[in-house]
Amino acid sequence: MITYNKDIFIENYISYWGKINKRQNDGIRFLLDKLSQSTRIDTNPKRAYVLATIKWETAHTFQPITEYGTQAYLKSKPYYPYIGRGYVQLTWESNYKKFGKHLGIDLVKNPELANDPEIAWKILEIGMTDNFGIQDPNFTKYTLENFFNDKKSDYYGARAIINPKDHKSYQPIQEIAKKMLLCLVKSQITQKVT
C-alpha cells in the first residue's frame, strides 16, 4: 500500500498552484486517504491523473460539486435534471441509474447523493477502472488501464475516460497530472517490509 505525507503533498501542491483554502485542504486530504486505500487506482501515475481530473472537474475545489450554470442553462441540457455532479460530473439518467444500482442506492430519485464525498469517490473509482458496460456521451468505454501500465503513462489520452469530446481540456489536464505526480512522489511514504 502506497501512502502519502499529506502535509508534504500540500506543501508541494502550493508550490505549483499557490495558496489553498480549508475546503481544498480537507478535500485533498480525504482524496489522498482514498487513493492510499484504493486497490483499483494503484500506481502513482494513475493517482496523479485521477487528482488532475478531480482538480479540473471540481473547479479546483477538490470537493464534489454540482454542474455550474443558471437554471435556464442547466435546464437546456439534454440530460437535465441529471446534471453533472460529484468529482467527475456524472451526467445522464442512465449513468445515475447504473451507478446507483451498482452501489445499492437510488441515485435517480436522489441525484444529489452523487455529491456525497464517499459516494462521489465510489462513482469515480468504479467509473474510471471498471466500466460495466456504460457507454454514453460522457462516460466512455475507456478505463485507466487503457492509458497506464508498465510501458506507458498517457496523461493526454486518458481524458477519453471522462470526456473524450472536450479536446480543449486534454493538454491542461495532462500538465496538471504531471505536477500531481511530482507531488505524490515527493510525499510518498516508503513502507518497510519486515
CATH number of 49's domain: 1.10.530.10
82 part of a folded domain: yes
Can you tell me whether residue 90 is helix, strand or coil?
Answer: strand
Share of the chain above pLDDT 90, in %: 80
194 part of a folded domain: no
HSE, CB side, 13 Å, CA atoms: give it for residue 157.
Answer: 10
Give the CA radius of gyration of the chain: 16
Q: Which of 53-57, 117-121, 131-135, 139-143 has the lowest mean pLDDT?
A: 131-135
Domain residues for the domain of 177 are 3-189
- Give the number of domains in the chain: 1
24 part of a folded domain: yes
Please report which helix (H) or strand (E) contains residue 15, including its range: helix 6-17
What does the pLDDT look like over 132-145, one tens digit per residue? Answer: 544 433 356 788 98
What does the pLDDT look like over 149-181, one tens digit per residue? Answer: 999 999 999 999 998 889 999 999 999 999 999
Q: Give the residue from 140, 193, 187 showing the smallest Cα distance to 163.
A: 140
- In angstroms, the CA 104 to CA 106 distance is 7
